[in-house]
Amino acid sequence: MITETLARIRPADVAAAQTAQAGLDAKTKPRGSLGRIEELARRIAAIRGTPTPGRLAAAVVVAAADHGVAGEGVSAYPQEVTRQMLANFESGGAAVCVLARAAGASLHVVDAGVGHPTANIVLGPAMSRADAEEHVTRGIALAGELARDGAGIVALGEMGIANTTSAAALSAALLPADAALVCGRGTGLDDAGLARKIDVVRRALAVNIVDPADPLLVLAALGGFEIALLCGVALGAAEERLVVLLDGFITGAAALVAARLAPETVDFMVAAHVSPEPGHRLVLDDLGLDPLLDLGLRLGEGSGAALALPLLHASLAVLEDMATFDSAGVTDACR
């Protein structure tokens, strides 16, 4: 299934973007004056393959999983919080639940391995290649289901105690970058915790086979299950021509793996925000994505993606509903 999906991912439609921009240029506003909102409308037109994408329904996918590396003391929170938060997602009290509701998006919580942690990456691979393929495949299938259910935008979110360590290790391997440049404080590490985390990433990179030419093996080596699943969602969404709205550093790492497997996947991505995690900016730069928001968000869950959704909807409303100079009788010519 992965091979077939990779083969079916096509670049976005540049002609649709150009026609959409011509439509925007006919609207009653100085050309380009809506800045990145116009850029968003163009990008969504290219993704959807039409200059008139209309309005799009949005689905937020939150994948949760546990990480063996949590035993190394790389998170400020104990591992049981992953399961507790899974319950919180399901009862609607977590931030992403509130923010997805506010944005009118559906929420899809996926247990990708809560209570069944990956192996500890400082000792060897997080999972087997077969495990990685299974989770990527599951993500691809989920994107297909969401497309069939009418979603036009899929926002990626995650939960997993210690998963910024996994994201840091993946980024260090795939960018590549030094461990110290991609490790941050996550949800609240102190200086000693941060130093430990950098050391853990270095050891994980030393003990595992991390050949960037084999991104799936890197993914299997450094984990986690939720990142593999979200990588699959990104690939499947690109295949289905859905907008892939990235959240923070961990979804960025999943996107990076997807981009290494199929570079055209990046055409379908929009970066919702940039977080204070130092690796996040590096990943977005590598992907060539300019984040929409910079609000100091470091929660994850897809919360930043949900906060950016109204900007995507607004760009589509502008494209669809604004009057043209002709229809409104407004003078377009400069003197």
Q: Which of 1, 6, 26, 28 binds a second copy (CB under 8 A)?
A: 28
- Distance between CA atoms of 113 and 91, rounded to whole angstroms? 19
- 301 belongs to the catalytic site: yes
Q: How far is the CB of 237 from a second copy (least distance, A)?
A: 23
Q: What 3-state DSSP class applies to 49?
A: coil
42 touching a second copy, by CB under 8 A: no
Task: Output the six-digit token pair for 74.
Answer: 């790389």
Give the CB-side neighbour count of residue 124, counting CA atoms within 13 A: 4
Q: Edge to edge, what strands does the sheet with 243-246 contain?
A: 106-113, 57-65, 151-159, 243-246, 269-271
- The residue among 236 and 300 lying less far from a second copy, judged by its C-beta, is 300
- The residue among 139 and 291 lying less far from a second copy, judged by its C-beta, is 291
Residue indicated by tokens 């096509």: 10
34 touching a second copy, by CB under 8 A: yes
Q: Cα-Cα-Cα-Cα dihedral of 240, 210, 80, 86, to 10°?
A: 0
102 touching a second copy, by CB under 8 A: yes
Q: How far is the CB of 101 from a second copy (least distance, A)?
A: 7
Q: Which residue in 147, 86, 94, 80 sits closest to 112, CA to CA?
A: 86
Tell me the one-letter amino acid at 64.
A
Task: Output the six-digit token pair for 2.
Answer: 């992965």
45 touching a second copy, by CB under 8 A: no
328 touching a second copy, by CB under 8 A: yes
3 touching a second copy, by CB under 8 A: no
Q: How far is the CB of 271 from a second copy (least distance, A)?
A: 13
Q: Could you tell me how many residues of this chain bind a second copy (CB under 8 A)? A: 60
The residues in 196-255 that bind a second copy, with binding defined as CB under 8 A, are none
Q: Which of 14, 33, 145, 264 binds a second copy (CB under 8 A)?
A: 33
Which residues make Cβ contacts (< 8 Å) with residue 247, sequence separation at least 6? 155, 156, 157, 158, 272, 273, 300, 301, 302, 303, 304, 305
99 touching a second copy, by CB under 8 A: yes
Give the CB-side neighbour count of residue 228, counting CA atoms within 13 A: 32
Q: Which of 141, 180, 207, 310 binds a second copy (CB under 8 A)?
A: 310
195 touching a second copy, by CB under 8 A: no
Q: Which of 8, 80, 150, 326 binds a second copy (CB under 8 A)?
A: 80
Q: DSSP label at 128?
A: -
Phi, psi at residue 302, to the nearest 5°?
Answer: 95, 10
Phi, psi at residue 81, to the nearest 5°?
Answer: -65, -30
Q: Which of 140, 173, 259, 292 binds a second copy (CB under 8 A)?
A: 292
323 touching a second copy, by CB under 8 A: yes
- Distance between CA atoms of 6 and 264, rounded to whole angstroms? 9
Q: Which candidate in 39, 226, 301, 320 is catalytic?
A: 301
Q: What 3-state DSSP class applies to 313?
A: helix
The residues in 158-187 that bind a second copy, with binding defined as CB under 8 A, are 187
Binding span for a second copy by CB under 8 A among 14-22, 56-64, 165-173, 304-312: 304-312
Residues serving a catalytic function are 301
Residues forming contacts to a second copy in the complex (CB under 8 A) are 27-31, 33-37, 73, 76-78, 80-81, 84-85, 87-88, 91-95, 98-99, 101-103, 187-188, 276, 292-299, 303, 306-307, 310-311, 313-314, 317-318, 321-323, 327-331, 334-335
